[in-house]
Structure 1
Amino acid sequence: MSDMRLIVAGAGGRMGRTLVRAIAETSGAVLAGALEAPGSELIGQDAGVLAGLPANGVLLSADLWALSAQADGIIDFTVPAATIANVAIAAERGIVHVIGTTGLSASDDAVIKSVTKRAVVVQSGNMSLGVNLLAALVKRVAQSLDQDFDIEILEMHHKQKIDAPSGTAYMLGKAAAEGRNIDLQSHSVRARDGHTGARTPGDIGFATLRGGTATGDHTVIFAGPYERIELAHKSENRMIFAHGALKAALWAKDKKPGFYSMTDVLGLTD
């Protein structure tokens, strides 16, 4: 079987450079293109050199239409506006689109799902194996414990992260809400300040920390009468997200058009 030819979106950023390194280390995958935002000062630079590797001859470009002519998939950890722009082109070209972008709105998600009748999309708020196993555990624990156990989600990321709460925290909250068979939006508490009154039974709380270089720490707390259960995941390197995204891309290569998540990739679907 031939190698899967992959484009890295945001190839000049922290996650993009990590993806370039991960592809170089992964059997069955090859870097076919490196995408950057129009006007970026990195356009024309070598993706390998930027990633700390020997030059690979793949130069950063802002033209996804041209890059995708000889590609099988795109891995996209960028920003919502860029991802939504990429969705239409990836679908038109018929290439796999792996989306790890966070901060997407409900309307953004609707746009992404609108192309899945004719395109393969794998989307997740977090691509790591550990986090997706954590989400499965959170759902199971939430199913097992009644509302006497309050659910709180604590997350910390580096000081450059621009969205809050993180996509992973939201993913864990959604897993907890599914376990409780409730709607997350109507039970979500994103901030507390001042005289808030007592906690409303059934709420799922989120607390956000930002600072330093933390790549992602998440803890889900089930706080009951006289005891607490804490389920946690701590990321030590962005490479775990890159490896997960590559696993998703290779898994999706021959799949039928549709919308998939990491639970599908990892066989964790109920």
Structure 2
Amino acid sequence: MDTSPTRLLIHGASGRMGQALIRLAAEQPAGYQVVAAVTRRAPSPRVVDGVPYFAASELAGVPVFDVAVDFSLPDGFDPILALCVERGTPLVSGTTGISDRQMAALAHAGARIPLVWATNFSLGVAVLTDLVERAAAALPGWDVDIVESHHVHKKDAPSGTALTLGEAAGSAGAQVHYASLRAGDIVGEHAVQFTGLGERIELVHRATHRDVFARGALHVASKLAGRPAGNYRVRDLLD
């Protein structure tokens, strides 16, 4: 059994998630090794705490990696997807705002490499999504309302996670209604309420620190390595 650490390429390394991924990977050297950190602009210095940095324009020259983890911007998404397909390596991506064309490219790439694209990498949210789908299937005709709360600087509403939860309920035939709150520095809260005659069920997830998303992405990366090609969900890789 191979016990060597998973070699990671972090794409979007200068962003908040990229920095969290590098920091958390360094705390688990037996599990992860960041072999390349890719940023939009030419990095200086080239090596930070043992991690080699590359500019996005140098992407083709990065060393061998086991999994790419991408939290970048839509205009940087195509090159990292193309590199993973070219090298036959898995991709984990949380880049938001990608176009319909890019979503179609993701679906097509899943025939050649294992990949995960998700709006939220919290493992708790992955479990919540599964529970929501099961509850909606078991409770036909009940009202389904999703209330999501985030910090005042978040612009999109409903959140991507709320929409994902809504899709899970909708796949079981539920009609979903959304409400969004923007207040203070809330990291992220999602409440899914099922209401019937004389009774109500509430399923709630609260994130209190942004590291939960980076930890989840690292977990998914370690589980995706060595899998056959396919488009996976976070909840497919929980164990």
Q: Check whether TM > 0.5.
A: yes
Q: How does 1:117-128 map to 2 (within 5 A)?
A: 117-128=111-122
Contact 2:113 2:229 in 1 (8 A): yes
Residues 1:157 and 2:150 are matched in the alignment: yes
RMSD: 2.1
1:81 alignment counterpart: 75
Q: Secondary structure at the match of 1:59?
A: strand
Give me the whole-angstrom Cα distance separating, in 2, the residues matched to 1:81 and 1:163. Answer: 19
Counterpart amino acid of residue 112 in structure 1 = L
Where in structure 2 are there 5+ consecutive unaligned residues? none
Contact 2:70 2:93 in 1 (8 A): yes
Out of 58, 65, 69, the position equivalent to 2:60 is 65
Contact 2:46 2:53 in 1 (8 A): yes
Out of 197, 212, 217, the position equivalent to 2:189 is 217
Counterpart amino acid of residue 237 in structure 2 = V
Contact 1:103 1:166 in 2 (8 A): no
1:37 alignment counterpart: 40
Structure-2-length-normalised TM-score: 0.88
Offset of residue 106 of structure 1? 3.5
1:242 alignment counterpart: 214
Offset of residue 45 of structure 1? 4.3
Counterpart amino acid of residue 12 in structure 1 = S
Counterpart amino acid of residue 137 in structure 1 = L
Contact 1:45 1:60 in 2 (8 A): no
Aligned length: 235
Structure-1-length-normalised TM-score: 0.79
After superposition, the C-alpha distances for 1:79-126 in whole angstroms (9 at most, x for unaligned) are 333223321122112221001223334432211111122222122222
Offset of residue 61 of structure 1? 2.3
Q: Secondary structure at the match of 1:58?
A: strand
After superposition, the C-alpha distances for 1:127-162 in whole angstroms (9 at most, x for unaligned) are 121111111111111111122x21111112234445
Q: How does 1:125-164 map to 2 (within 5 A)?
A: 125-147=119-141, 149-164=142-157
Where in structure 1 are there 5+ consecutive unaligned residues? 49-54, 181-201
1:24 alignment counterpart: 26
1:227 alignment counterpart: 199
Counterpart amino acid of residue 96 in structure 1 = P
1:112 alignment counterpart: 106
